[in-house]
Structure 1
Amino acid sequence: MNTLHEGNDKLGAKDQSWGFVKALHPEDRRCMTQRASAIAQGQPYEIKYRLLAADGHYHWFSEQGTPVITAGQIQDWIVSCTPCQKELGSNVLEAPLKVVQESEQRYRSLVIATSQIVWITDATGKVDDIPAWRAYTGQTVAEVQGWSWLSAVHPEDRDRTAQTWNSAVQHKRLYDTEYRIRGADGNYRYFWVRGVPVIAEDGSVREWVGICADIHERKQVEEELKKSEKRYRDLANAMPLIVWTAQPNGKMDYYNQRWFDYTGLTPEQSTDSGWQAIIHPDDLPGCLHRWHHAISTGTFYEIEYRFRHKNGVYRWHLGKAIPVRDTHDQILSWVGTATDIDDRKCFEEVLKESEVRFRSMADNAPVMIWVSGTDTLCYWFNQPWLAFTGQKMEAEVGDGWTQKVHPEDKEACLNTYLKAFAARQRFEMEYRLQRADGEYRWLVNTGVPRFIPGGNFAGYIGSCVDITERKATEEALKHRAEELTYLTKILATTNTALEKRNQELDQFAYVASHDLKAPLRAIANLSQWIEEDIAEQLSAENRHQMDLLRGRVHRLEALIDGLLQYSRVGRIATPAEFISVKALLNEVITMLAPPPEFTIAITEDLPRLRTQKLPLFQVFSNLISNAIKHHNRHDGKIAISATDKGDFYEFTIADDGPGIASAYHDKVFGIFQTLEARDKVENTGVGLAIVKKIVESQGGRIYLVSQEGQGATFCFTWSK
């Protein structure tokens, strides 16, 4: 038997580097391709071919090759090339025995020298001796012979190993397996074991040749890789987003559990292009275009598209993918994610709609609005501003708007703005801004800082109102005030008797409204003194006019009282207490002292409630007083009742008086509104306005039901 021992690099070389290739029969050179394929795959092989001998004739040879593996890597190849028996001629059979012995010796030396366990068995798979096996396991020859070598195999692997070996021997096929072998130190290590049958010319197995390669470190690495892979998959499956991987050509080969939970697809449905079924039809073309572009260029992939949930609803997702490259920058795979951004997209749509709504409102607002950023510069003005200045947005943004500020106001304007900006404080200032027609107009500019959610400063927003007319009015009022001051001085020198009263009038705008009664009383007294001093000189008409004067003074005092009451409604808080409405009504009626012939009927089932007494007293007092005062008969009737409406009571005050036309039902609740001349019935026109304000301040409502000539019914509600 001739033996060849070549390194893996040599066997992988091109055919023409092998010296004997030239001796191959031209028809058999294709077997070199078979050998190259087996070598590339690390698989044992057997081929037959014809070689040109020195005698000029071709002879058949059988070549067998087996890889020698160390730590999972092919280090060498054992190749044997033997003449086929039917081709052995007399010259070959007479070859010197020394050549055969030398070949056998080289083979034996190779077996001993290799770091792997090389073994040979007979055709039945029984071992005679394996020195390398014994050296590693520490077994004796007797413990190795036959099938006894199995005792060094790990108990968990032993039965499987025996079955695999027995099956290979019976079927004369490649023996390829992995199992753990106990070393002489008692420790088990993983080995990759491969054996091939050596086939005789008659097709029978002459013997088995194989190796045991130590792959323990590789197995440990594989276990670590498995653990790492499991950790990766567990992590990917625990993520709230979809994770996927693809081959360099873009073919999907992995999805995490989130994908299947979300889409409802099975692994089979998700293979190849199955993922495209859940992409929204409107988004699929753009998605595929970007994905193919990323694959062809090896660039980052990012897109927003809609995924169909298993419930049929599409939700927006952000898809991203990056290529994973080796040390030679070749793409090994793609790793991608899909994150649900539907809530963010909805929020963006809301923000967009809000922005449109804000701009629409701002552009239609009756004020000029501006917005600045964190750099103090303005970046937006509404349409009223642009219409006022006659400028386009491009001309106003930044500090362009300052070009229209009056030169005398510009420095103070900017200083006020920048000082407030630095302190993040509200500001208000007045300055003149040039209008489109060239006229400078006074504006009041109010600005407030803007903060986004989270408290970060975003800039300022402000509004401007044209106050030119107001400024003119203020100037006119200023001149008028100067005139009034001058007139006051003149009056003070001509009528010292009224000096004190004039001083009180000068303080009119600065004193409480109830102090207005003092000059009114003075007028009434003065008219009385004048009437008394020149009584003989006054005619009946003059006395009547004096009475009218004093009547109007008293009416004005009543009006002031009414205004004071009206202004105080809801501002003066009194403690709540339990009130018997019936007892309260008795107090009101006693105070009003109606004519004896006037009838006021009170229902018996009036409630007792917890409320402020004074407001309710004022309401009943005004309504009952009005019913008596405006009745067209002295023997009129009033009926008072209450109805429980759940959260509140509805009180009713009905009279049989002249009634009120429907056209005046709302008018009567207005301040200073009366249905009769004030000279006919003393009336300030404030009472019902006070009543309405009190009722509404308590969370209730008041309304009138009446027809002219059929009495009037006032109804109001009051919280329990």
Structure 2
Amino acid sequence: MILDITDQKRVEDALRESEQRFRLVAESAPVMLWMGDQNGKCVYLNRAQREFWGVELEAIADFDWGTTVHPEDHDALYGPFGQGMQAQAPFSTEARLQRADGEYRIVSTNAQPRFSPGGEFLGMIGVNVDITENRQTERALRESEERFRAIANSIDQLIWATQPNGYHDYYNQRWYEYTGVPEGTTDGAGWSGMFHPDDQERAWSIWRHCLETGEPYHIEYRLKHRSGQYRWVLGRAQPVRDDQGRIIRWFGTCTDIHDFKQAQEELRESRERAVRTEEETRRLASMLADRVAELDAANEEIQRFAYIVSHDLRAPLVNVMGFTSELESAHAEIEQFYRKVLETNPGLVSPDTRSAVEADLVEAIGFIRSSTVKMDKLINAILKLSREGRRVLAPEHLGMGALLEAQRQSVAHQLHERGAELVIENVPDLTSDRLAVEQIFGNLIDNAVKYLDPARQGRIVVRGQDLGIGIRYEIEDNGRGIDPKDYERIFDLFRRSGVQDQQGRNRSCARARSCAKARRYDLGVVAAGRRLDLHGRAAQIHQHEFGGRVMPHQHPVTIIMIEDDEGHARLIEKNIRRAGVCNEIRTFASGTSAIEHLFSDVVRNAGPFLVLLDLNLPDMNGVDILAKLKNDEKLKRAPVVVLTTTDDQREVQRCYDLGANVYITKPVEYESFSQAIRQLGLFLSVIQVPETL
């Protein structure tokens, strides 16, 4: 039997040609293509799919693609795949497939059923697309959006966003909390209803202009608050553009500036008031400046008065002590005579005479001496306070640990005698005047040591703390304690608290507070200690060399003494004579009479002379006399010895600068005074005075 299969051959050839065309296209396709049979086994993989799985063309028949499916994605892939095979219908799914290098990639699968010309189901043909990067991008975008929302909802700003056409589609949580409106009610154009009626037209006009031009949005308007009050806010927005410069989003903020606007208004009103009262302000400022100047002048006058009073009080003391010593010497002679009379003829000595010589006179002299010593100490205290007020401060960095250690060494002997200890804890450094700080801590520590409680082991602690705006130092002791009512009293000069069994007049606490106030520190007492917030005289003889050439004495040297205090003059002369100096002494009680004498022709053309000069004279300052002498061509070679109760170092240096040869401070204590004058006498006995003036 012969069958005509021409049509069948033609169909087979057409099918074969179609398959060849398919394979040619599939091999060059950029996506992964596959075909499976009725059992789901691969019968074809294009080049992209083979490279993905690492399968050679001849190995396709034995390749099991199911081994490449991620274990967690079996259901995601096999479910849709099985349903499609059973129903002979298309299916789509996503699953992670393992690439040839071992990495799992997210693959999107889309498959269609495949049929023969006779309608027989042949299997599935599908496309696999690697969408890993897309999914990662989507996840990053989602995470970024979540972060944005978290940040936007956590800040105090009102944040909003719109589409390119200005349609509002996002507000952060703060917007709804601030306005009190339900979510979504201000989307689109609904937000304009939140503006104050007087601001709506202006706000819309500026917003439309920005949408048209792409310019940044900036405006101040009143926004309705949840309280019903309209509050001033600052609105700002910036466009976000794509790579081609096209606007894809607008992001904006609203900042509540209501308090700032009110402050601006108050400031404007304040400025207007200031302008209206400018003349009054200038007048008050002028009055204040005048008052400050008056206070400065008064303060300077007080300091000068204290200094002058100290000198004027000391001068009589020198006389009292000096003539008390002379009285003691006379008493010794009287007592010697009294003893002889008592031995030879006791009947001549009455009971009153005996009492006067043996008791009354000795007691009186003793009281005079002790009283003058106390008076001298008080004068010194006043003088010291005066000097501290005039001293120029020199701030420097102070290592407080080292400074306080030096203070501890200075009181080590007293601490040892009392069985006490001084503990220095951590103390911050300070920038201040060294001498002032040393005086403050020295006075407070001395006071603490003096008033330790003998019933227990003494302990003094110094500590400090940096408070940021200042430094606090504390000096704490376990001494006798201070009655709270005396917390301020102890800083008054010559005032003390508690049992008065220690010598002194409470000058240490007064000096400490005086130094502290001068440096704008706060010094006070608390229950546990003292807290500082950083809110005997001997002769001083300074000798300079005489300028010019000196010659041996050929004529007696006359001593010109310029001294207004008759007592001082007498005591000086007595002690000079006791030193063996017999030169003529001419005494002048005023500067005017001394100048007239020194500048007279008799003196200028006479023999050599030496000047003993007091600085504090009733009619003129001794410094002026010194200057006159040293500025005169004839008299400037005459030696000048300054002999005064003033020991201010500035005065001492000034005298030396003007040409003084010797500066001697008169001590109040008579033995020291006598020793100083005798040293002067020895000096006068060996000095060579220029022969020709």
* TM-score, scaled to structure 1: 0.39
Query: Quick check: which one's strand share is greater?
Result: 1
* Structure with higher helix content: 2
The TM-score, its normalising length taken from structure 2, stands at 0.41
* Larger relative contact order, structure 1 or 2 (CA cutoff 8 Å, min sep 6): 2
